[in-house]
Amino acid sequence: MNPYSDFSFPWFDAFLLWLSGTELRAFFYRFEDFDWLFVFAHVASAAVLLGSILIVDLRIIGVTREISLRKLAVLALPWSVGGAIVALLSGAVMLLFDPIAVGVHTYFLPKMALILLGLLNALAFHRFINLEAAETPNAGARFAGALSIALWVGVFLCASLNGAERISSTSHAELSR
């Protein structure tokens, strides 16, 4: 079902078709005239999320040491949580506007997987690495910080690739046969 490439999962295509026919989708479709507002909220909140993650992760991997990690984390965490909540909610609304048009992009599922991995990495870091111990980061903390940066930059890369993706002439030609 993917007009952009040969990359497709039948189970996900079936989910998108099902989602397109739900009452929830019909409810949110009424607000599609305001899609620009949801796109803005999504991009702005994702930028806040990425920025707040980057300043902490860069501190963890040792790029800067001017401010204590604990103080920086206390300042950044509310921004990270707020950005994540708004980005997830606005993204869900945009998906509900047109599940098929949004979900069939080649990099949509990789983006979702990277978001999940980024959230799991953050939870694991907060569960297993003490912020005071990470003040002078060990190899494990530095790895977690570098992995976090890579995952979240990957999310933005996938989002950019989805936004720039155009229907392939070969895929489109095959669809019209």
- Cα–chain center distance at 80: 13
Residue 167: CA count within 13 A, CB half-sphere: 11
Task: Give dist(CA 133, CA 105) in Å, integer.
Answer: 42
Question: Does residue 170 have a pLDDT over 50?
Answer: yes
Question: Does residue 103 have a pLDDT over 80?
Answer: yes
Mean of pLDDT over the chain: 88
| Residue 173: predicted pLDDT | 46
End-to-end C-alpha distance for the chain, whole angstroms: 14
Query: For the chain, what are the domain ranges?
Result: 10-175
| Residue 1: predicted pLDDT | 64
Tokens 């999504």 label which residue? 42
Q: What is the 3-state secondary structure (H, E, C) of the chain?
A: CCCCCCCCCHHHHHHHHHHHCCHHHHHHHCCHHHHHHHHHHHHHHHHHHHHHHHHHHHHHCCCCCCCCHHHHHHHHHHHHHHHHHHHHHHHHHHHHHCHHHHHCCCCHHHHHHHHHHHHHHHHHHHHHCCCCHHHCCCHHHHHHHHHHHHHHHHHHHHHHHHHHCCCCHHHHHHHCC
Q: Which amino acid is at 174?
A: E
Task: Give dist(CA 32, CA 94) in Å, integer.
Answer: 8
Question: Does residue 171 have a pLDDT over 60?
Answer: no
Angle at 157 between CA 156 and CA 163, to 5 degrees: 90
**pLDDT category, 145, cuts 50, 70, 90?**
very high
| Residue 38: predicted pLDDT | 95
Q: Are 174 and 5 in contact (CB under 8 A)?
A: no
